[in-house]
Amino acid sequence: MESESGLLEQSINSRYSLWVQEALNELPDSFTVTDPYISGQPIVFASKGFLKMMGYSKTEVIGRNGRIFQGPGTCRRSVMEIREAIREERGIQINLVNYRRDGTPFWMLFHMCPVFSKEDGRVIHFVAVQVPILRKPRRRNGVGLVYEEESRVNESVYGSCRREVCSDSLVDLGSALSLECALDDADNRGLEIEETCEASELEKQRAASSMNNILSVLTHYSELTGRLVCGKRCNLTGVGLLSSSLNISLGRIKQSFVLTDPHLPDMPIVYASEAFFKLTGYARHEVMGRNCRFLSGEDTDSSATYRIKESVQNEKACTVRILNYRKDKSSFWNLLHVSPIRNASGKIAYFVGVQMEEACKNQDGHGLSPEMRQLSAVGAVRIAVRSLSMGAGTSKS
């Protein structure tokens, strides 16, 4: 099984070779690279410029999600728009309030682009360039809202650490910013941050040209591994590949489960959760693309496997007690729940199989029974897949 830090490092190195980190660090820009196929969409690379600007060390940032830089002053709608851009696998340029390690907020132009695999068209990484916006009060903000007043916030609030902002007596002032909003002019004490801020053309160009430089480095180094990437989506040819957004949604689900694709020959596994690897001892590359039967062994009751087969054929859910085997050949009783999962067209897109080790049945999870956790995983998978391939055929602006 891959260790977590190994997984993060491999994300970059296996795609762009070992030398890419050095080349990326030679770029003066401030940017991060995230991997949507690792649970939690963690940062797998952060440039020197980014670390310097944010005041973090490399180890504090790698493996974390980009939302750690957001705070009470970050506009919720902008966060939603970024989330939607990730879901739709498209680029976005938006003004955003981020927080340095010492708790100071600042406006920056956030420019994010997906990086696609040339081979199968899926998203490999997201690159996010951050360009600090020089203070220039404007009446419009990045998402087109118009406010009449200018905002200033007491410096002492934002000079303090964020935890303190929350608990100290100035809490009211601090949270006011969360609304990307203006404060009464009467309250002005010391100039800190504008409620709205628009990047200049120059800053927008800077972000775009940084992005081009990064993409060309990534493209160049991907040639070394033969696993080419590009900044524009090529035709999605990879069958059985899950979109990056579905991976992100599924990554939240902590139970052991797999998704199999009934439209592909022999119903291969197209997704397996971290807990599945932990339970079975297999690594990702050892299970993806394979039919689940490798979990069975010589003492597995064929009537159990038959019941699973039957429920798949009838497109019905079932729960089966089945003897399964780990990679090390040790066996365990698996209370397996299998159910069809439908997409936006209402058709079956996958089958989910949620494993539950019988021996761990009494394990307590905040009062939730293992059966309830199993069903909650099924529910969460249904919601994640429900909007899949929605709006196909409609134009996306």
Partner 1 sequence: MVTVDQLQGDNFSSQCGPLSLKGVRIPLYRFGCNSVLDDGCVGGDACFSEEEEEQSLLDSILLAQWEDRMWKGLFRYDVTTSEIKVIDGRRKFIAQFNEGCGTDCIPKLGKSKISQGLFEFSWLDRQEELLFSVARGEQSNPELVLAADVPDSALLITVNASPVEYGHVFLIPYCSNILYQFLDAKSLELALCVAVEVKNYSFRLFYDYSPSASHIYFQACYFQIPLPVEFMPSDTFFIDGQKGMLISSVADYPIKTLVFESNHFKLMLEVVAEICSSLRGKLILYNLLISDHGRKIFLFLQQQTSKTSCTLSAWECGGYFLFKSRSAFDQSTEKNLLKQLSTVSIDEEGFQAVKLLCSNIASKFTS
15 or 66: whose CB is closer to partner 1?
66
Window contacting partner 1 (CB under 8 A); options: 69-77, 105-113, 207-215, 303-311: 69-77
Residues 231-250 that bind partner 1 (CB under 8 A): 249
- Residue 75 CB, shortest distance to partner 1, in Å, is 10
User: Closest Cα partner for 295 from 252, 349, 256, 350?
Assistant: 256
- Residue 109 CB, shortest distance to partner 1, in Å, is 19
212 or 389: whose CB is closer to partner 1?
389
Q: What are the C-alpha distances in Å from 273 to residues 138, 160, 283, 288, 324?
A: 46, 39, 11, 11, 17
Can residue 55 be called a binding residue for partner 1 (CB under 8 A)? no
Residues 24-43 that bind partner 1 (CB under 8 A): 40
SS3 72: coil
- Please count the other Cβ atoms lying within 10 Å of the Cβ belonging to residue 365: 11
| From candidates 1, 53, 317, 323, binder to partner 1 by CB under 8 A | 317
Say what the alpha-carbon torsion angle 240, 244, 246, 249 is, to the nearest 10 degrees: 150
51 or 97: whose CB is closer to partner 1?
97
Which positions from 255 to 294 touch partner 1 by CB under 8 A, shown as an x/- string? Answer: ----------------------------------------
159 or 231: whose CB is closer to partner 1?
159
Q: For residue 46, how many C-alpha atoms fall within 13 Å in the half-sphere facing its CB?
A: 20
17 or 256: whose CB is closer to partner 1?
256
Can residue 64 be called a binding residue for partner 1 (CB under 8 A)? yes
**What are the residues whose beta carbons fall under 8 Å from the beta carbon of 232, sequence distance 6 or more?**
116
Can residue 226 be called a binding residue for partner 1 (CB under 8 A)? no
What's the token pair of residue 171? 């809490």
Q: What are the C-alpha distances in Å from 331 to residues 148, 183, 358, 362, 365?
A: 68, 64, 11, 19, 24
- Residue 187 CB, shortest distance to partner 1, in Å, is 6
250 or 270: whose CB is closer to partner 1?
250
Cα–Cα dist 103/72, whole Å: 11
Residues 374-393 that bind partner 1 (CB under 8 A): 374-376, 378-380, 382-384, 386-387, 390-391
Beta strands in the chain (DSSP E): 31-34, 43-46, 92-99, 105-117, 123-132, 229-230, 257-260, 269-272, 318-325, 331-342, 348-354
Can residue 352 be called a binding residue for partner 1 (CB under 8 A)? no
- Residue 33 CB, shortest distance to partner 1, in Å, is 19
Say what the alpha-carbon torsion angle 64, 365, 339, 239 is, to the nearest 10 degrees: 20
Can residue 397 be called a binding residue for partner 1 (CB under 8 A)? yes
